[in-house]
Amino acid sequence: MTLEQEINESNQYYLAHEIAVIHKKPTPIQIVKVDYPKRSAAVIREAYFRQASTTDYNGIYRGRYIDFDAKETKEKTRFPLDNFHQHQVEHMRSCLKQGGICFGLIKFVTLDQLYLLKATDLIEYWDAQEDAGGRKSIPLTAFETHAIPIKYSLNPIIAYLDAVDQLI
């Protein structure tokens, strides 16, 4: 199961149990060409992203706005910053200025380790890479010391709101 599927299932659990309302944001696309082999079976043949999307998920938890992105890496010792895009980091920066709770859920696939990385920490590493000789990745040791580890469970499969509680 992919990280996105696991988060979606967790969000369904949170919604069903009236804990939080968090959804995956749809990616805005512009449809260019559609084939209609049958009236009830339209097939999109060509489409483009209308604009760069922001983060993957947003919603509300305990009266607070939540906004986050989910990323996976097969790296064992670091998380490459190029997994994020400038517009995503800027979006998080803007949400933080408005009092939102922003973070990244980062999974080290090979190690089977999942972390909640505060957006402020992500932004610090992001900005530092612009400096001469700045790192282009976040070392695993930084996750081990500064991020919040998330353990898998039965329901929800990813109890990331327990980690969010530590941010609030």
CA distance 82 to 86: 9
CA angle 5, 9, 14 (to 5 degrees): 145
Say whether 56 counts as a known binding-site residue: yes
Locate all alpha helices (DSSP H) within the chain, ordered by sequence: 3-16, 86-97, 119-128, 140-146, 160-167
Q: What is the pLDDT of residues 90-137, one digit of tens each?
A: 999 999 999 999 999 999 999 999 999 999 999 999 999 987 778 899
Q: Is the pLDDT of residue 158 over 90?
A: yes
Say whether 88 counts as a known binding-site residue: yes
The whole model's pTM is what? 0.85
Mean pLDDT of 153-157: 94
As a whole number, the mean pLDDT across the chain is 91
Higher-scoring residue by pLDDT: 85, 25: 85
User: Which pLDDT band holds residue 43 (cuts at 50, 70, 90)?
Assistant: confident
Nearest to 69 by CA among 83, 80, 49: 83
Which domains are seen in the chain, by residue range?
3-26+52-167 (3.40.1350.10)
Q: What is the pLDDT of residue 66?
A: 97
Residue percentage of the chain with pLDDT more than 90:
76
